[in-house]
Copies of this chain bind each other. A is one copy, B any other.
Amino acid sequence: MAPVCIAIIGLGGVGKAFLNQLATLKLQTTSRPVVIFASRSSKQIYTKNYDSVDATTVDSSSSPLLSLSDLTTYLGGAPGKVILVDNTSNQDVANAYPSFLRKGISVVTPNKKAFSSNMQLWDDIFNSTSPSALVYHESSVGAGLPVISTLKDLVATGDQITKVQGVFSGTMSFLFNTFAPVDGSGKGKWSEIVSQAKDAGYTEPDPRDDLNGMDVARKCTILARLAGLKVAGPDSFPVQSLIPKQLESASSAAEFMDKLPQFDGDMESYKDNAAKAGKVVRFVASVDVAANEVKVGLEMVEKDSPIAALKGSDNIFVFHTKRYSSSPLVVQGSGAGGEVTAMGVSADLIKAIERLS
């Protein structure tokens, strides 16, 4: 049987870590996959005859650029089964998944946008799937943590998901674990902690991209849909933005950071109110399947709850189900970063290769 062919889009932080893992992947099958296409920004490497290419040399490649549509045609003509590994967070690439899948090309990706945009794209992706065109996206939520696979296993074996709750953002986790730790010590004003996190690289270059809650809302959308809720998109349910209304018009990240200290009192009062109730404030995502309610925002949580006990920038996913009713199934750990995101992609790739070989 011809070896499985791999096409890689995106060779940034995740993509580079993925390439390293691919080189040493422990596969049960005898046939190692062959990389026939790789792209990075405006460079691509491939050959007309689907030869094996060295993705690390993409920058010096002179292959003519293929559009996404050209790429679909190109990969559709490959001599073996093809897996597209999309390591970007690009909406255009995500929108092209149904075209790839209809050509029998499988998709393995951490790209959240494919699964958290409109329902039409979701349906097109999962209705295009045939036994020869698989879709795996473990790293779209919680990076390498077993979140998507666990939720899918619960649903597929007939468990009833009651609620999925947790802290789905490493940035939010770090900010609140530092701002309002369980022992009440608190390590500074809100704006100072945001500033420290930004300097340490724990936030996006523009911290507003974390503070608006949309990254968490996208993850919620994916989990809600897998649990069976028809969620129209990440802006179709309540998401509390931590960008003060008066700063929504700030023209730059710098202006935002300059003015943020004026609003420290707001966050301080959230913290104080929680403390008065014997609780701590956290940025919690909640998919309540029983009540058909999805929401993201500040909540006061019990000090002895697993969510409150979180440390550093860990994510936590708490699955309440019929089978796990007396105590929930919990998955916890680092939910961001090139290595662990690539790990989810690589593990998915192994599963896809095992099914296609």
- Minimum CB distance partner of A311 in chain B: B327
Q: Are A340 and B312 in contact (CB under 8 A)?
A: no
- Copy number of this protein in the oligomer? 2
A263 within 8 A of B: no
A350 within 8 A of B: yes
A297 within 8 A of B: no
Within 8 A of B (CB), among A312-357: 312-314, 319, 323-324, 326-334, 339-340, 342-343, 346-347, 350-351, 354-355, 357
Q: Are A331 and B334 in contact (CB under 8 A)?
A: no
A21 within 8 A of B: yes
- Minimum CB distance partner of A29 in chain B: B131
A346 to B153: give the CA distance in the assembly, Å.
Answer: 9
Q: Are A332 and B330 in contact (CB under 8 A)?
A: yes
Residues of B within 8 A of A351 (CB): 351
A149 within 8 A of B: yes
Min CB gap A172→B, angstroms = 15
Q: Are B332 and A158 in contact (CB under 8 A)?
A: no
A339 to B158: give the CA distance in the assembly, Å.
Answer: 10
A26-54 CB contact bits vs B (8 Å, 1 = yes)? 11110000000000000000000000000
A13 within 8 A of B: no
A182 to B12: give the CA distance in the assembly, Å.
Answer: 45
Q: Are A150 and B159 in contact (CB under 8 A)?
A: no
| Known contacts A340-B323, A347-B157: A329-B145 contact under CB 8 Å | yes
A120 within 8 A of B: no
Q: Are A332 and B333 in contact (CB under 8 A)?
A: no
Residues of B within 8 A of A324 (CB): 333-334, 340
Given A330-B331, A331-B332, 17 more pairs with CB closer than 8 A = A21-B158, A26-B157, A28-B129, A29-B131, A144-B323, A144-B329, A146-B331, A153-B347, A157-B343, A157-B346, A159-B343, A312-B327, A323-B343, A324-B333, A330-B330, A331-B331, A355-B355
> Top 10 A-B pairs ranked by shortest CB distance?
A329-B333, A153-B347, A157-B346, A330-B332, A146-B146, A26-B156, A24-B158, A323-B339, A157-B343, A146-B150
